[in-house]
Structure 1
Amino acid sequence: MHTIATPALWFVFGLIVVIALVIDFVVLRAGGTHKVAFKEAALWSVAWIALAMLFNLGLWYWLGGHVSAEVANETALQFLAGYLVEKALAVDNIFVFLLIFSRFGVSAELQKHALMIGILGAIVLRAILIFVGAALIQRYHWILYFFGAFLIYTGIQMVRAPNDEGDFESNPLMRWMRGHLRLSKEYSGA
């Protein structure tokens, strides 16, 4: 992988991500279990977007002192474009979260807690899948066709039965989890 960043810059980026997660979890714990109001959600969204834009500004400034202005501008624009694409894709995730929350009956007061745990799990699993997937694609190019076919299949399944909840209890994954993990059908506190 080609990168213009130094290991120190990657370390700073990783540190910023970890600090942001810690802040979010500390605030989550301090705020206790509560329903997140629109105003609170909007303020947090503005804060995280501002942090991303400050990071982009800092990246542009740092690159301006270490590489050409053209490379700094191009990299800052690429970051901005990538960030906007991720934000647009995050809207799709909201619908998935709402579906999961309604399917499992997660109350509005517990949704932020469940969301934070889900995001942390998603970060870890996404990192694993990116590295494993990149290695597989580099070694076996044909696997792209397999993944593409799988996406088409799941898309067709979603279109064919958009409101079909199916028998949740007979789902093979749920049966396996209930047999191997200590799961409860009821909530106990948070």
Structure 2
Amino acid sequence: MHTLAPLWLWSVFIVFVLLALFVDFVVLKKQGAHEVTVPEAIRWSAIWVALSFAFNGLLWWAFAQDQGTAVANTKALEFLTGYLIEKSLAVDNIFVFLMIFTYFSVPPAYQKRVLMIGIILAIVLRTVMILIGGWLIAEFHWILYVFGAFLLLTGIKMWRGADEEANLEDNPALKILRKVMPVSKHFDGEHFWTMQNGVRIATPLLLVVALVGFTDVIFAVDSIPAIYAITADPFIVLTSNIFAILGLRAMFFLLAAMAAKFHLLNYGLAVILVFIGTKMLLIDLYKIPVLVSLGVVIGILALTMIWSVKTAPKIGPSKTVSR
């Protein structure tokens, strides 16, 4: 694995992530259990997007100082494209999270903490997966074709099943978790464990956290190879991935309130996966420019969202995210 990123930029990134998580936990503890409103979700989404763009600006400046503006422009475009791909593929995560919360009837006031812990699990697990993926690509170039074929088939499968209702009862992780641990029938506030007949058992909230973490790992199998189709630089892959994840919680509450308006988004995500898979399969014949990839991703997302809004079923106004 090789990256041109200077050591100090790695340090800035690590410090920023730790600081962001610390602030998030402090704010979470201060607010306590509460239902996130749409204006709050919009505000936090805007903050995370702004911070991501600010980091990309710092990334451009760092590469410009060490490698020149041509390299800096390429790296900044790679970060932006990877970030947008992760953000778009995260939409699928969000709809599954929403299904999990609905299935377990998780009170809206508790959902924020579950997502916060899920984000920490995602950061740790994805970092490990990205480093492993980078090592595999560096050692075995042919693995790119495996990733490409996998993304292509995943996109086709997603297109075919875009209108199908997911059934959580068929989730193998849920079946395994229910076998290995006794779970109470009721929530105990935000606690993950409770006492029942003198025995310490898990609450449904712990089951939800485990499922959210498992779901993110499954989706990372798609999204991480997708970013490696844009760049082989592990620093760009890692930073664009993590910045997209950091804004996932706010994005969840925002999209959960607007889910019906973006009912065609899965079709757009399917097309993006097919495009990225094809790009990866053609990498040794023709390398599609990063700027073209960025334009394709933005174009597909914009077209799908506009068409979704135009054909969205009518729903009543809602001031808060309530499920």
Q: Same fold (TM over 0.5)?
A: yes
Q: Which residue of 2 is the match for residue 85 of structure 1?
A: 85
What is the distance in 2 between the residues matched to 1:37 and 1:160? 28
Q: Which residue of 1 is the match for residue 11 of structure 2?
A: 11
Q: Which residue of 1 is the match for residue 119 of structure 2?
A: 119
TM-score where L is the length of structure 2: 0.50
Specify every segment of 5 or more residues in structure 1 that has no aligned partner in the other structure, as ranges. Answer: none
What is the distance in 2 between the residues matched to 1:133 and 1:67? 25
User: Which amino acid is 1:144 matched to?
Assistant: V
| RMSD (Å), alpha carbons | 3.2
CA distance 1:77–1:161, change in 2 (3 Å) = closer
User: Which amino acid is 1:122 matched to?
Assistant: A
CA distance 1:39–1:6, change in 2 (3 Å) = same
What is the distance in 1 between the residues matched to 2:11 and 2:36? 33
What is the distance in 2 between the residues matched to 1:7 and 1:183? 46
User: Which amino acid is 1:24 matched to?
Assistant: D
Query: Are residue 183 (structure 1) and residue 183 (structure 2) matched?
Result: yes
The within-5 A match list for 1:1-190 is 1-135=1-135, 138=139, 141=142, 144=146, 148=150, 152=154, 155=157, 159=161, 162-163=164-165, 165=167, 168=169, 173-181=173-181, 183-190=183-190
Larger relative contact order, structure 1 or 2 (CA cutoff 8 Å, min sep 6):
2
Specify every segment of 5 or more residues in structure 2 that has no aligned partner in the other structure, as ranges. Answer: 191-323
TM-score where L is the length of structure 1: 0.80
What is the distance in 2 between the residues matched to 1:80 and 1:140? 24
User: Which amino acid is 2:161 matched to?
Assistant: V
- The sequence identity of aligned pairs, in percent, is 43
CA distance 1:163–1:67, change in 2 (3 Å) = closer
Give 1:65 shift: 2.1
What is the distance in 1 between the residues matched to 2:184 and 2:41? 30
**Deviating more after overlay: 41-50 vs 58-67:** 58-67
